[in-house]
Structure 1
Amino acid sequence: MEGIFAIWQRDVTKFFRDRARLFGSFTMPILFLLIFGGGLSGTMEGLISGSIEGGGEFQYIQFVFPGIVAMTLLMTSVFSSLSIIEDRDFGYMKEILVSPVSRVNIAVGKMLGASTVACLQGMMMFLLIPFLGIRYSVLSLLQVLPFMFLLACALSSVGLLIASFLKSTQGFQLIVQILVMPMVFLSGALFPVNNMPGWMDIIVKINPVTYGVDVMKKVMIDIDSLSPMIREAMGLNLTLFGRSITVAEEVLFMLVFTTVLVLLATLSFRRSNA
């Protein structure tokens, strides 16, 4: 546990000291928030109002904000795993490997460090809520934090697995960029993902971001106050095999996904750094 804590503390400390990284990680989420939340909100709300009676009660910015937070978690947690390759290049990883700390604990410490950093940046997005004209209760923001951390753990394990196989930062960035955008757009973060083609719906259902985004929306948005037609139109009723998925089932999926990915990542990490 001391080894895990030391690695976790190092990654968190690096996060607070690297101001350029702190600023840069907000660029794309804020850009998407301005484009989808500000530029397209009127269009989306107009389409809903025109096609569904009572559609004016829904704010699109309220729908997209949890997705933007999940996008921040995705980008930060995955790209934080790049530090594994950097540590290997600069010799820091060799110093850890010759220490009594097991390689499994090194991998777990890296995952927890990346997850913590991602959650901190996701929480910083909450500071924008007063300026967006939307309201979330303090209780809902507190309740969503454990789900944010769980999603960050799942996503950081993906980055950890990728980093354990690759030897260069260029290759890591290329692979991650190929994965990040599909995971964002096929998760329901920015627009509904219902009525997708069959092959695309399969990708949506195995995407961990899908379940993380859906849980965050169910916790942060007062879904019960929306009409069933609006919930259906905006994809707020996630289904699998024709039945609605509960929050408990979504949490279970993320737990299983995280456990499997961590096991695979630690095995690959041990083999590639032997």
Structure 2
Amino acid sequence: MKASPMGIVQTLCSREIMAFLRQPSRVLSALMTPVLFWVIFGAGIGRSFRPTLEASEGDFLTYFFPGILGLSVVFSGIFSAITTILDRQKGFLQSVLVVPGPRMAIVAGKVLGGALLALLQGAILLLLAPLAGLELTFGSFLLAVLVLALLAFAMTAMGFWFAWKIDSVQGFHGVMNLLFFPLWLLSGALFPAGGAYAGIRWIMTLNPLHYGDAALRHALYVGKPLPDGLPSMTLCFVVIGATALFMLFIASRAIHRGRDRA
């Protein structure tokens, strides 16, 4: 009997969420780490490492807040894919793959579960925006949540693709750290593109996280001038949405071609 695609998605998604919630230490660290990073990094070295903030009319804590939002969601989304490696080692993936049903449902369930967890963490952190000097209206909150949702989905799908290709948690951590931190550093989280060298600006235009960071600034800078060099909100949504669809596509292709890896 063929399993329902929605049933597969729901089962895998709820399994990801329940596994996370059963680990209180993981929940606490996921929520507190970005807050501590924002406060310590922003307050500790903000005066000696100030980006060009004339346009944003705020201090480094204000500028850094959208960047730390992106960091929280992207980091949580990517590293939630570690469960894919663990499920393979425990034999759970093998049992899922023999269930009659579309392979896309397996990808969607795993990715959706990780993305929802990342989005929840980002939405909770978003409530601290007034402490960063950013006005949080109902409209800006919804717009920022939409941006975070797209980012979470895209990055979780990216993490799933790499996790499907890599055999060990240690190897996954190494590859993701090598890839993730340059992407985040060149997203605009620490400095605006308008104040960077031409070569760095060009690299930033190729970075999908740059458009996520820019979209968050469009959403949260209510009544504030935007930093120089930001792409338009329309372009940001196009790039983030296209990245999410592309990563989901290649993750689905990977599970079709690499079924023997499970």
TM-score normalized by the length of structure 1: 0.84
The DSSP-based 3-state class of the residue aligned with 2:43 is helix
SS in 2 for 1:209: helix
Gaps of 5+ in 1: 239-244
Q: Identify the residue that residue 173 of structure 2 maps to in structure 1.
A: 173
1:269 maps to which of 255, 258, 261: 255
> Aligned partners of 1:6, 1:18: CA distance in 2, in Å?
19
1:158 deviation in Å?
A: 1.1
Displacement of 1:181 after TM fit?
1.1
| Structure 1 CA distance for aligned equivalents of residues 134 and 48 of structure 2 | 18
Quick one: which of 238, 242, 246 aligns to 1:252?
238
Measured against aligned partners, the alpha-carbon deviations of 1:95-152 in whole angstroms (never above 9, x if no partner) come to: 1111123222101111111110100111121344455565422331122111110011
Residue 189 (1) aligns with residue 189 (2): yes
Deviation at 1:21, TM superposition (A): 1.6
Shift of residue 45, structure 1, vs aligned partner: 6.9
1:60 to partner: Cα distance: 3.0
Partner of 2:124: 124
Offset of 1:89 from its aligned partner?
0.4
What secondary structure sits across from 2:105 in the alignment? helix
CA contact (8 A) 2:51 2:60 kept: no
| Cα distance, 1:199 vs structure 2 | 4.5
C-alpha contact (below 8 Å) 1:68/1:190 kept by paired residues: no
1:197 and 1:180, CA in 2 relative to 1: closer, same or farther beyond 3 A? same
Q: Which amino acid aligns with 1:257?
A: T
Matched residue SS, 1:100? coil
User: What are the ranges of 5 or more consecutive residues in structure 2 without an aligned counterpart?
Assistant: 1-5
Shift of 1:201: 3.1
- Aligned partner of residue 194 in structure 1, secondary structure: helix
Offset at 1:163?
Answer: 0.8
Supply the distance in 1 between the matched residues of 2:180 and 2:37 (Cα, whole angstroms).
14
Verify the 8 A CA contact 2:88 2:94 in the aligned structure 1: yes
| 2:25 aligned partner, one-letter code | A
1: distance between equivalents of 2:57 and 2:109? 45
Give me the whole-angstrom Cα distance separating, in 2, the residues matched to 1:138 and 1:42: 32
Alpha-carbon separation, structure 1, partners of 2:52 and 2:252 = 47
The equivalent of 2:3 in structure 1 is: none
CA distance in 2, matches of 1:154, 1:116: 12
Give the whole-Å Cα distance in 1 for the aligned partners of 2:240 and 2:56.
34
8 A Cα contact 1:119 1:149, kept in partner: yes
Equivalences for 1:1-274 in 2 at 5 Å? 1-26=6-31, 28-43=33-48, 57-129=57-129, 131-132=131-132, 134-222=134-222, 224-226=223-225, 231=226, 234-235=227-228, 237-238=229-230, 245-274=231-260
In 2, distance between residues paired with 1:186 and 1:56? Answer: 18
Aligned-pair RMSD on alpha carbons?
A: 2.4
The number of aligned residues is 255
Moved more, 101-110 or 55-64: 55-64
> For 1:189, what is the secondary structure of its paired residue?
coil
Provide the residue aligned with 1:241 in structure 2: none
